[in-house]
């Protein structure tokens, strides 16, 4: 298998001049860094999508190939023709493994000022570079931002349930979890993590303030360390509402077999993006994909005065909440406020004051059960087979059987 020839893969037959059209907003010009290992077809597919991108001028492409017994990956990387600037292929002389490999690729932000990092099982929109460059420029120097995601989650990856951020007038929301399915960093953002990581590279344990499912991810996961850093420092990743990358779910280190569970639609047409500061956004979520109480209080007065956590997905251990009350979908012996669950996203039921007994504000000590029994009612469009598969996946995650980046 070989990479695309010059001119191949340009959407609609566009020539280089079209791909290099000036973009309307100020933007960084990050290097594009590809993380590759043992999947030549995946690498060729990703490179073909990167070749379709629109670029504001010369852009450096780096393909980092971890040591492998398969020479085909290196051949695909070396034969790929990059029409938009310099290309460098880094051949790792020893097997780094996924975590060390991604960390070494993030370190390239020091040389280039900023980077877009893409693992080889991804596929990107032609507008991925416009979004990344504009987002990096807008959030540069804002110490509360730890990085930029190209991927937009449609699932809460811990609960394996639908996730829908509250809409607003911007193209982004904020999540206290790093992204591994297309991400960008400035050197300043990456250096903040690297400085912290030097003293915190030991095992992630149940004592860390992270979702239980994430704690169970394998040690090869760099993402759980970056998320631990974000939780410890109070920083957030910027996420797009419409995805600029998608995860093809190829078999690899963290997928024992292929999956389409994390495929999402791509934004193919927008080249100018609207951002807002973290402080001005109501769509700010913690590492469990739960809306921050401070943001919910901006939208409703019904819970003001209570010291509470949000646990609408039912994935937080009550004994580790650290608040007197919890807003939850779990069963409780008693409660002080209650809401129905007919609107989406689920926090809209609280904002709108929907009557019912599905979402409860309860003292933490009154929580007695799980929320899984509510799945068929709130996700009726999912087939019984898909629901069963999601529940099994969720249980496997609790048992440490599922693996992820």
Q: What length does the chain have? A: 405
CA distances from 215 to 202, 235, 402, 405 (A): 12, 19, 11, 12
Q: How far is CA 255 from the centre of its chain?
A: 17
Reading the block at residue 219, the tokens are: 């040690």
H or E element, residue 213: helix 212-215
301 or 254: whose pLDDT is higher?
301
**pLDDT per residue as tens digits for the range 156-191:** 999 888 999 999 999 999 999 999 999 999 999 999
**Beta-bridge partner residues of 236:** 145
**Class of domain 11-285 (CATH, top level):** alpha beta
Q: What is the pLDDT of residue 369?
A: 79
Q: What is the pLDDT of residue 388?
A: 63
Q: What is the pLDDT of residue 261?
A: 87
| Mean pLDDT, residues 133-151 | 98
Which residue's entry shows tokens 């047409």? 269
Residues of the chain with CATH 3.90.550.10: 11-285
Kindly indicate the confidence band of residue 378, based on its pLDDT and cuts at 50, 70 and 90: low
The side-by-side arrangement of strands in the sheet containing 61-65 is 87-91, 61-65, 31-36, 114-119, 183-186, 145-149, 236-240, 172-175, 284-285
Q: What is the pLDDT of residue 259?
A: 80
- Contact between residue 10 and residue 51 where contact means Cβ atoms under 8 Å apart: yes
**pLDDT per residue as tens digits for the range 69-104:** 889 999 999 999 999 999 999 999 999 999 999 999
Contact residues for 37 (Cβ-Cβ < 8 A; gap 6+): 65, 66, 68, 73, 98, 101, 120
Q: What is the pLDDT of residue 400?
A: 44
Q: Quick one: angle between helices 98-106 and 187-197, nearest 10? A: 130
Q: For 184, which DSSP code?
A: E
The dihedrals phi and psi of 23, each to the nearest 5 degrees, come to -95, 150
């Amino acid at each position: 298998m070989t990479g695309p020839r010059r001119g191949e893969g340009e959407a609609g037959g566009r020539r280089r001049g079209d791909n290099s059209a000036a973009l309307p907003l100020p933007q960084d010009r990050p290097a594009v860094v590809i993380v590759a290992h043992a999947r030549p077809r995946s690498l060729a597919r990703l490179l073909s999508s990167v070749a379709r991108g629109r670029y504001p001028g010369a852009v450096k492409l780096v393909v980092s190939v971890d040591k492998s017994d398969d020479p085909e990956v290196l051949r695909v990387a070396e034969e790929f023709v990059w029409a938009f600037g310099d290309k460098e292929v880094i051949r790792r002389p020893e097997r780094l493994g996924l975590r060390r490999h991604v960390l070494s690729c993030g370190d390239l932000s020091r040389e280039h000022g900023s980077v877009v990092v893409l693992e080889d099982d991804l596929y990107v929109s032609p507008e991925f570079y416009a979004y990344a460059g504009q987002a990096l420029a807008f959030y540069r120097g804002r110490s509360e931002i730890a990085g930029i995601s190209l991927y937009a989650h449609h699932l809460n990856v811990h609960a394996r349930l639908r996730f829908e951020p509250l809409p607003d007038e911007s193209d982004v929301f904020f999540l206290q979890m790093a992204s591994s399915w297309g991400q960008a960093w400035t050197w300043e953002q990456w250096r903040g993590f690297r400085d912290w990581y030097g003293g915190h590279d030991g095992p992630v344990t149940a004592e860390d303030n992270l979702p239980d499912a994430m704690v169970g991810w394998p040690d090869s996961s760099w993402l759980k360390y970056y998320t631990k850093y974000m939780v410890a420092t109070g920083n957030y990743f910027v996420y797009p509402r419409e995805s600029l990358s998608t995860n093809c779910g190829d078999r690899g280190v963290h997928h024992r077999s292929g999956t389409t569970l994390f495929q999402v639609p791509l934004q193919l047409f927008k080249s100018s993006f609207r951002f807002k500061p973290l402080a001005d956004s109501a769509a700010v979520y913690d590492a469990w994909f739960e809306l921050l109480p401070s943001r919910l209080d901006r939208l409703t007065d019904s819970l003001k005065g209570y010291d509470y956590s949000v646990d609408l997905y039912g994935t937080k251990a009550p004994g580790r909440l650290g608040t007197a009350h919890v807003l939850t979908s779990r069963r409780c012996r008693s409660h002080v406020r209650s809401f129905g669950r007919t609107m989406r996203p689920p926090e809209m039921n609280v904002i709108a004051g929907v009557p019912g007994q599905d979402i409860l504000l309860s003292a933490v000590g009154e929580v007695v059960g799980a929320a899984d029994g509510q799945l068929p009612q709130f996700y009726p469009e999912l087939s019984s087979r898909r629901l069963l598969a999601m529940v099994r996946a969720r249980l496997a995650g609790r048992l440490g059987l599922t693996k992820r980046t």
